Amino acid sequence: MSERATGFFEQVAEAFDRAAAFTSYDAHLLEQIKRVNAVYRMAFPVLRDDGSIVVIDAWRAEHSFHRLPTKGGIRYSMLVDEDEVAALAALMTFKCAIVDVPFGGAKGGVRIDPREFSEAELERITRRYTAELMRKSFIGPGTDVPAPDYGTGQREMMWIADTYMALSHSELEALACVTGKPVGQGGIRGRTEATGLGLMFGLQEACSHAADMKQLGLATGLEGKRFVVQGLGNVGSHAARYLEEEGAVLVGVAEREGSISAPSGLRVADLLAHRAQTGSILGFPDATDLPDRASALELDCDVLVPAALEKQIHEGNAPRIKARIVAEGANGPTTAAADRILRAAGALVVPDVFLNAGGVTVSYFEWLKNLQHVRFGRMERLFDQRARGGLLQLLSESTGRDLSERERSRLARGADEADLVRSGLEETMTLAYREIREKRLELGVEADLRIAAMVVAIDKVASDYQLRGLFP
């Protein structure tokens, strides 16, 4: 079997086993942490617009019940199978533990190409899938809380919430059954861009350590760093935009229709506008089209951001990767063999199990908001604004300097929901990276960031099991 044909869950298990070797936990406890607790496979008929009936295959995997509810996205893709949802559920368990979000991991998938179905058909599929999840108690505010993933978004999450509320007999917390909803329907400001923004915060912290950057031959900070993005979906486009705002320079992009190179840099907004108008990144005036869609991965750059699907960096192309930092925006974009090749070449791989945790972090904020039935900032924003205004008035009187109305407005402004979400996300990603880095230093030269992140996750999940008296 070729390395690329190895199962996704097997790849995750290999990373887990590498990290587990650095711990001294009971073998049975480690096996429990690694195993998937429950998988629900379903097949159901859906009526198409032309009157025909299609049978849909779908799954939901719940990896760990060490904390409840379990949490994880739902993807619509022809690549979905049981192995994929099991692997993604496991990654979600470890991801939540690393960033101290109190969920177990889960993941769902429906094997369809959403582009092949009308909106009405997608709604019927989504609502039936939700009903099937409810049938086996695989969804609920305190049981299992889905979220958007590849091929899904706010629209699908609202269909899920509406179906659950209709069938849950007026459950008070019903809206917390799913996250990633529209803001006006119980969602939270900042959720759409959360994974891309979290990636920027995590990478920013990684690039702030002078000793680590010196080993890579790079300066600290994001300013001036040349980066390549694979995938301009929700994660990749927002990550590119936020990296650009911090002074990084986009020099290449890979998408399903092809890839482009722009050594002198290009503007993210202009490229997205070009793609929206033409349907492709190819033919962009300020860039050169490359031979195939994978070519951009091998461009000369400081940072490579794979933000598409799993197994995009493999043993076949890893030796040609020139990036000094690989910032994993997607789940499982680097195979185990490729990871070994990149590490041997001296690259710093910032692992997915940490770096794309921004989405679940802000989903946690949304879940809390739904349980509390109050918008973040509603109780304190005006109070804070008035208190700051009073302090500014005292400052103005004591110094004799009159502040302009614009200065007063800017300095006295109270934090709204978006401000609080961004602040909470930045702190979460920053503190999590520092914990991972400290663990790597503690483990010694044989450990890398992926091992360190997994050890941090294992420690936290194991602690939960031990506190419940289930294992010594």
pLDDT over 90 at 418, yes or no: no
When pLDDT is averaged across residues 98-105 and rounded to a whole number, the result is 96
Predicted local confidence at residue 374, as pLDDT: 74
Predicted local confidence at residue 383, as pLDDT: 46
Percent of the chain at pLDDT > 90 equals: 78
pLDDT over 50 at 174, yes or no: yes
pLDDT over 90 at 399, yes or no: no
pLDDT over 90 at 209, yes or no: yes
pLDDT over 50 at 1, yes or no: no
Active-site residue flag, 225: no
- pLDDT tens digits, residue range 9-60? 998 999 999 999 999 999 999 999 999 999 999 999 999 999 999 999 999 9
Stated pTM of the model? 0.88
- 392 falls in which pLDDT band (50, 70, 90)? low
pLDDT over 60 at 210, yes or no: yes
Predicted local confidence at residue 131, as pLDDT: 97
Which residue out of 34, 71, 95, 107 is catalytically annotated? 107
More confident site: 470 or 449: 449
* Max mean pLDDT range (254-258, 427-431, 463-467): 427-431
* Max mean pLDDT range (3-7, 60-64, 412-416): 60-64
Q: Please state the φ and ψ torsions of residue 250, each to the nearest 5 degrees.
A: -80, 120
Quote the CA–CA distance of 431 and 200 in Å, as a whole number.
14
Fold of 39-185: Rossmann fold (3.40.50)
Predicted local confidence at residue 182, as pLDDT: 94
pLDDT over 90 at 328, yes or no: yes
When pLDDT is averaged across residues 434-455 and rounded to a whole number, the result is 92
pLDDT over 80 at 382, yes or no: no
Q: Where are the domains of the chain?
A: 39-185
pLDDT over 90 at 409, yes or no: no
- pLDDT tens digits, residue range 237-266? 999 999 999 999 999 999 999 999 999 999
- 379 falls in which pLDDT band (50, 70, 90)? low
pLDDT over 90 at 100, yes or no: yes
- pLDDT tens digits, residue range 273-310? 999 999 999 999 989 999 888 899 999 999 999 998 88
Question: Dihedral sign, CA of 368, 370, 372, 373?
Answer: positive
- 224 falls in which pLDDT band (50, 70, 90)? very high
